[in-house]
């Protein structure tokens, strides 16, 4: 078996109903993973699971509010009931908002961090509790793997977006820090890593473009065009670009990696 195979690996994905989460789900399914797909929109989760099953893979869709510890525990329990274990969780669920720094309300800040940080923490916690109580898939391998979706917005700089999404940037920087804390806590039994995407062609970025262009007084699509024009790889990022790295982090090929946050952004941030 190739080291990057996921045949029989049980994977839970949060925020799997659309965008990056759905892209990851479809990609991992093609590599043989068994999937539990959680989303706040239960209909979207069920539709995603149905789409995956059409490829011949195994998938369940469940309702999930990542802000609730009980919902995260139920996501893990669904995997265990179906397949006896949980090998990987992809903590992908997140939200975005464009609002100038001085116009942010406390409720904006609290909602952003409750989903993007508390949600990731509770998903990690629920998964880790189960993973630490199970044998590894194979001798010498970790007992489980945690993958968080952060963002290059959580890195230094960020240019003109810094002043209009400070709470989003703070939340993603917190995810990067949380990944490091979890990695140090659970090594060598679990690996914990993050992916930092860039400009991904999803509905979320459609919303960003709509709100940014409204603030700037420019035509719809202009914020997106300008951001994509600055990508060294010469195109917008697709969910599949993130999914390939997620598959690597979920596989045996990355068993010696932990505590890392990997930029997958077409070269926007180089380090």
As annotated, the active-site residues are: 168
- Measured CA to CA, the distance from residue 262 to residue 196 in angstroms comes to 6
Q: What is the DSSP letter of 117?
A: I
- Contact 152/166 with Cβ under 8 angstroms? no
Report H helices in 95-165: 106-113, 119-131
Nearest to 208 by CA among 57, 95, 52: 95
Task: Mention every residue, 6+ apart, whose C-beta is less than 8 A from residue 119.
Answer: 14, 66, 67, 91, 93, 94
Token pair for 193? 């890593």
């Amino acid at each position: 078996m190739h080291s990057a195979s996921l045949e029989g690996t049980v994977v839970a994905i949060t925020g799997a109903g659309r965008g990056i989460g759905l892209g990851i789900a479809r990609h991992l399914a093609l590599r043989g993973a068994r999937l539990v797909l959680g989303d706040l929109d239960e209909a979207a989760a069920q539709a995603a699971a149905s789409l995956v099953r059409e490829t011949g893979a195994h998938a369940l869709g469940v309702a999930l509010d990542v802000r609730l510890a009980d919902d995260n525990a139920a996501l893990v329990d669904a995997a265990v009931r179906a397949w006896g274990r949980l090998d990987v969780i992809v903590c992908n669920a997140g939200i975005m908002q464009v609002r100038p720094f001085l116009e942010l309300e406390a409720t904006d800040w609290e909602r952003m961090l409750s989903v993007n940080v508390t949600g990731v923490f509770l998903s990690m916690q629920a998964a880790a509790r189960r993973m630490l109580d199970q044998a590894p898939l194979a001798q010498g391998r970790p007992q489980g793997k945690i993958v968080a979706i952060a963002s290059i917005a959580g890195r230094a700089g960020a240019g003109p977006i810094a002043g209009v999404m400070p709470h989003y940037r703070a939340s993603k920087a917190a995810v990067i820090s949380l990944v490091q804390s979890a990695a140090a806590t659970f090594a060598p039994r679990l690996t914990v890593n993050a992916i930092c995407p860039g400009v991904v062609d999803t509905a979320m970025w459609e919303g960003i473009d709509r709100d940014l262009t409204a603030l700037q007084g420019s035509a719809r699509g202009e914020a997106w065009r300008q951001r994509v024009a600055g990508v060294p790889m010469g195109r917008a990022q697709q969910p599949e670009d993130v999914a390939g790295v997620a598959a690597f982090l979920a596989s045996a090929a990355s068993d010696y990696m932990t505590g890392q946050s990997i930029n997958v952004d077409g070269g926007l941030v180089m380090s």
